[in-house]
Amino acid sequence: MSHNNRPIGVFDSGIGGLTVLRELFRILPEESTVYLGDTARVPYGSKSGDTVVRYSLEVAEFLVKQGIKLFVIACNTASAYALQELKKRLKIPVIGVIEPGAKAAIEATRTKRIGIIGTEGTIKSNSYINAINAIRDRKIEGIMEHGEKSLDRYFEIRSDDFVIFTKACPLFVSLAEEGWTANDVALLTARYYLKGLKKENPDTLVLGCTHYPVLKNIISKVMGPDVRLIDSAIETAKMVKGILEEGNMEKESDEKPSREFYVTDSPERFVKVGERFLEQKIEHIEKIDIGGN
Ligand code: DGL
């Protein structure tokens, strides 16, 4: 393939994927992008796999029509459930956030004790575990549930010499959107959610949800300075760069890159919260209709 000036498509259930877009801007500042946040149907994290796949296919159809050269699923939940189906159906490269995060976790861990946090859907799907095992050619050997109440519940998943602890932290999404990332409520919530995982002494923790990088400081404060946090957003942007270079698909023209945004609900809230996530202005935003509920 020759050089390619078409935009990169980035898809998320809403605002959170802007953490991935922000890293793409940093790592690939010359590339044009089209971002779609399915704000009318967010959250995906508490929906069934079938629904998430259906939504993702509708979003992909819209973005492919915009002439994108590569499709980034910035949403962890959509990556967990729809990556395979999207790879099968689209004729362009499709990248999810799970594999890059899984790879980085394997590289980072010394003690082979890894924590993974995400939405209920991502945790239920075991997709980070499957990705970590697939890279290492291993299988799940045992799953144990810990904790009594749902707030305390976390899972211990063993395969060979690796032990992985997973925990759904759904309230982190609301905290991040509210901008409560450094106050007492955020700290208390993080302490509650991470209590079990911390006790297990992982040396690496994967932030398996678009919103969690915004809460990095609080999460690190709770887990302690020795726990390495893996930001899937950064790892995914690096992978996108690698794929563009390998396929000779980088933008070549000197024209200023375009940054387009689409949402499925009214843009006001997206712009307000999104500019904080993105750390820059959002212009060129449009509301679109892509499907039912
Ligand atoms: N984007 C979702 C994820 O990364 C979080 C928000 C949602 O539940 O839709 O899993």
Share above pLDDT 90 across residues of the chain, in percent, rounded to a whole number:
91
Burial class (CB in 10 A: 0-12, 13-18, 19+), 276: middle
pLDDT value at residue 182: 92
Looking at the structure, do residues 191 and 262 belong to the same domain, yes or no?
A: no
- The answer as to whether 41 is a domain residue is yes
Looking at the structure, do residues 16 and 56 belong to the same domain, yes or no?
A: yes
**Separation CA 194–CA 70 (nearest Å):** 35
pLDDT tens figures, 85-95: 999 999 999 99
Residues of the chain with pLDDT under 70: 1-2, 292-293
Cα(80) to centroid of ligand 1, in Å?
Answer: 11
pLDDT value at residue 232: 87
Q: Report how many domains make up the chain.
A: 2
Residue ranges of E strands in 78-197: 94-96, 113-118, 142-146, 154-159, 162-168
Counting atoms of ligand 1 from 1, which one is nearest the CA of 13?
A: 9
Looking at the structure, do residues 80 and 161 belong to the same domain, yes or no?
A: no
pLDDT value at residue 160: 85
pLDDT value at residue 1: 47
Looking at the structure, do residues 163 and 228 belong to the same domain, yes or no?
A: yes
- The answer as to whether 244 is a domain residue is yes
Looking at the structure, do residues 111 and 91 belong to the same domain, yes or no?
A: no
In 3D space, the residue among 19, 63, 32, 17 whose CA is nearest the CA of residue 290 turns out to be 63
Rounded to two decimals, what is the model's pTM? Answer: 0.94
Q: Which of 193, 213, 232 is the last residue of a domain?
A: 232
pLDDT value at residue 291: 74
Ligand 1, pocket residues at CB < 6 Å: 12-14, 16, 42-45, 75-77, 119, 122, 173, 209-211
Looking at the structure, do residues 135 and 196 belong to the same domain, yes or no?
A: yes
List the residue whose alpha carbon is closest to atom 2 of ligand 1.
75
Cα(122) to centroid of ligand 1, in Å?
Answer: 9
Counting atoms of ligand 1 from 1, which one is nearest the CA of 118?
A: 10
Looking at the structure, do residues 220 and 118 belong to the same domain, yes or no?
A: yes
227: left (phi over 0), alpha (psi -120 to 50) or beta: beta
Counting atoms of ligand 1 from 1, which one is nearest the CA of 121?
A: 10
Q: Which of 194, 211, 232 is the last residue of a domain?
A: 232
Are 49 and 121 a contacting pair, CB within 8 Å? yes
Looking at the structure, do residues 108 and 228 belong to the same domain, yes or no?
A: yes
**Separation CA 212–CA 189 (nearest Å):** 13
Task: Reply yes or no: is the peptide bond before residue 225 cis, omega within 30 of 0.
Answer: no
Burial class (CB in 10 A: 0-12, 13-18, 19+), 84: exposed
- The answer as to whether 108 is a domain residue is yes
pLDDT tens figures, 229-282: 999 899 999 999 999 999 999 999 889 999 999 999 999 999 999 998 898 999
Catalytic, 169? Answer no
Name the residue of 38, 211, 215, 270 whose CB sits within 8 Å of the most ligand 1 atoms, as the mutation to test its pocket.
211
- The answer as to whether 292 is a domain residue is no
- The answer as to whether 293 is a domain residue is no
Catalytic, 75? Answer yes
**Separation CA 17–CA 156 (nearest Å):** 28
Are 263 and 37 a contacting pair, CB within 8 Å? yes
**Separation CA 233–CA 219 (nearest Å):** 16
- The answer as to whether 111 is a domain residue is yes
Amino acid, res. 75: C
pLDDT value at residue 253: 86
Read off the CATH number of the domain in which 181 is found. Answer: 3.40.50.1860
Catalytic residue among 190, 209, 244, 282: 209
- SS3 at position 8: strand
pLDDT value at residue 209: 96
Cα(13) to centroid of ligand 1, in Å?
Answer: 6
The beta-carbon contacts of 219-225 under 8 Å, at least 24 apart in sequence, are 219/117, 219/190, 219/194, 221/187, 221/190, 222/187, 222/190, 222/191, 222/194, 222/198, 223/115, 223/194, 223/197, 223/198, 224/198
Looking at the structure, do residues 113 and 33 belong to the same domain, yes or no?
A: no
- CB neighbours of residue 282 within 10 Å: 18
- The answer as to whether 194 is a domain residue is yes
Q: In what order do the strands lie in the sheet with 228-231?
A: 142-146, 154-159, 162-168, 113-118, 204-208, 228-231
Looking at the structure, do residues 61 and 114 belong to the same domain, yes or no?
A: no
Looking at the structure, do residues 129 and 207 belong to the same domain, yes or no?
A: yes
pLDDT value at residue 148: 77
pLDDT value at residue 86: 98
Q: Two tokens at 180?
A: 């409560």
Fill in the DSSP letter of residue 7. Answer: P
- The answer as to whether 211 is a domain residue is yes
Which range of residues forms the domain containing residue 149? 99-232
Name the residue of 75, 122, 123, 124 whose CB sits within 8 Å of the most ligand 1 atoms, as the mutation to test its pocket.
75
Round the CA-based radius of gyration of the chain to a whole number and report it: 18
